[in-house]
């Protein structure tokens, strides 16, 4: 079997790697082999993807940031299209990153290559005009949230709910105390995890804000006697392996030196799950990390501060008014049914200030009733995402569906 995989995001790179691993295993059980090529980052590369374009060169975010990278994006499209024309895969699987993948799917369609969208754009939230594009360009959609399946069925789009691949990737059995031992953190320490994002634009918008709010949080905790005079608030800053530390050193060191009596700042790579498990609370940039935090039961606040141009477009053109955090999106039906607040607070756009983030962080670390309610909600989240796939893991289920789809396509061609 020959597959083209395109995953340009840090999270979809991890999801794609799990799918590729599951495909190889399932095909080997049938005595078959798999050839996979396309767009991927370090995770897919480690699983043996023949990389045509390195995903790390495509990591941009926001409207203004994408505009700057248009020449490189179109060069990447040409490279992938050329490889697809030469190799003629049985199926192309694209993940996330819709502006890139819609263009790629049009080119693949002209080549007669069927394309599947795994982890489609959130058209149920905004830009519903894309529904017709999805219907035209993709032979099937694999969705990872249970409420998405009925949405796409309403528009007669072939869709399969395959479960959420984070359930395969996260150490759900690891306890908070075990995570602290792994990280060398005392069980009585107060720990705040900061997850500002992995793209340069995200770090620019969020890192200083989060560090400043952490310093304020430490001072508030000390004033309230939750942090003793000789104790420091431990800050965990986990980054994917794609993030170079050099660009962050100056900013982090500034806060280390200025607030040396309040903060113990620790940067790490590739262990965000352990950091979330070890923490009392988190400041987490909107995206897949918020779902990770929920599944790993880390009380957190969802943060997103875009550039001014992106914020204006989001407010005046997209005009989406629903929840942004994935934890809140998955629980939205329950919230409407029981008329409750969002499970996780969202601080977005102009409301993102060091003081606002610090107040919420302190509340999450000190308010036992709020923590208990949030942790119960995280239990429901895990059940909702894992309850319908019987004995298969999400990635194994998705792999099985891919194999069956390719078999049916080959039958039609005969």
Q: What is the 3-state secondary structure (H, E, C) of 318-337?
A: HCCCCCCCHHHHHCHHHHHH
Q: Which two tokens stand for residue 258?
A: 């200025």
Q: What is the pLDDT of residue 312?
A: 62
Q: What is the pLDDT of residue 196?
A: 94
CA proximity to 22, closest of 38, 9, 39, 5:
5
pLDDT in tens, 134-168: 999 999 999 998 889 999 999 999 999 999 999 99
**Domain map (residue ranges) of the chain:** 2-163+388-413, 176-386
Work out the number of other CB atoms within 10 angstroms of the CB of residue 120. Answer: 25
Beta partners for residue 291, in sequence order? none
Q: What is the pLDDT of residue 330?
A: 85
Q: What is the pLDDT of residue 61?
A: 46
The stretches in the chain having pLDDT less than 50 are: 61-64, 337-339
CA proximity to 68, closest of 247, 309, 268, 383:
309
For the whole model, what pTM was predicted?
0.86
2-163+388-413 topology per CATH: Rossmann fold (3.40.50)
CATH class, domain 176-386, is: alpha beta
Q: Decide whether 2-163+388-413 matches 176-386 in CATH topology.
A: yes
- Could you tell me the CA-to-CA distances from 169 to 25, 190, 266, 324, 395 in Å, in that order? 16, 27, 23, 23, 10
Alpha-carbon distance of 414 to 411, in angstroms, equals 5
pLDDT in tens, 283-328: 999 988 999 999 999 999 999 987 766 666 666 555 566 788 889 9
Q: What is the pLDDT of residue 64?
A: 45
**What three-state secondary structure class fits 175?**
coil
Work out the number of other CB atoms within 10 angstroms of the CB of residue 144. Answer: 22
């Amino acid at each position: 079997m020959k597959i083209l995989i395109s995953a340009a995001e840090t999270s979809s790179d991890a999801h794609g790697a799990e799918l590729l691993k599951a495909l190889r295993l399932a095909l080997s059980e049938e005595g078959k082999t798999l050839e996979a090529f396309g767009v991927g980052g370090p995770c897919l590369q480690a699983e043996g993807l023949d990389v045509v374009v390195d995903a790390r060169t495509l990591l941009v975010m926001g409207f203004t940031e994408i505009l700057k990278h248009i020449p490189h994006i179109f060069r990447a499209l040409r490279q992938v299209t050329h490889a697809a024309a030469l190799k003629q895969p049985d199926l192309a699987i694209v993940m996330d990153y819709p502006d890139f993948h819609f263009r790629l799917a049009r080119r693949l369609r002209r080549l007669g290559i069927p394309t599947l969208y795994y982890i489609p754009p959130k058209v149920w939230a905004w830009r519903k005009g894309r529904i017709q594009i999805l219907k035209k360009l993709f032979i099937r959609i694999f969705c990872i949230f249970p409420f998405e399946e009925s949405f796409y069925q309403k528009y007669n789009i072939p869709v399969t709910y395959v479960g959420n691949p984070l359930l395969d990737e996260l150490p759900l059995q690891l306890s908070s105390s075990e995570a602290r031992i792994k990280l060398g953190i005392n069980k009585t320490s107060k720990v705040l995890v900061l997850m500002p994002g992995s793209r340069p634009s995200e770090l620019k918008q969020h890192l200083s804000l989060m560090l400043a709010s952490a310093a304020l949080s430490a001072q508030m905790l000390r004033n309230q006697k939750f942090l003793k005079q000789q104790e420091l608030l431990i800050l965990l800053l986990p980054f994917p392996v794609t993030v170079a530390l050099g660009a962050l050193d100056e900013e982090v060191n500034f806060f280390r030196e200025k607030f040396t009596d309040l903060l113990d700042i620790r940067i790490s790579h590739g262990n965000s799950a352990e950091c979330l498990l070890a923490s009392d609370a988190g400041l987490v940039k909107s995206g897949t990390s918020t779902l990770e935090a929920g599944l790993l039961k880390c009380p957190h606040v969802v943060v997103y501060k875009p550039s001014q141009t992106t914020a204006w477009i989001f407010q005046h053109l997209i005009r989406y008014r629903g929840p942004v955090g994935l934890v809140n999106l998955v629980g939205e039906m329950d919230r409407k049914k029981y008329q409750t607040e969002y499970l996780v607070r969202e601080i977005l756009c102009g409301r993102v200030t060091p003081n606002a983030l610090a107040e919420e962080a302190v509340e999450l670390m000190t308010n036992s009733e709020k923590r208990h309610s949030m942790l119960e909600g995280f239990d429901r989240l895990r059940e909702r995402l894992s309850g319908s796939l019987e004995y298969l893991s999400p990635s194994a289920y998705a792999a099985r569906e891919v194999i069956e789809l390719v078999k049916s396509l080959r039958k039609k061609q005969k």
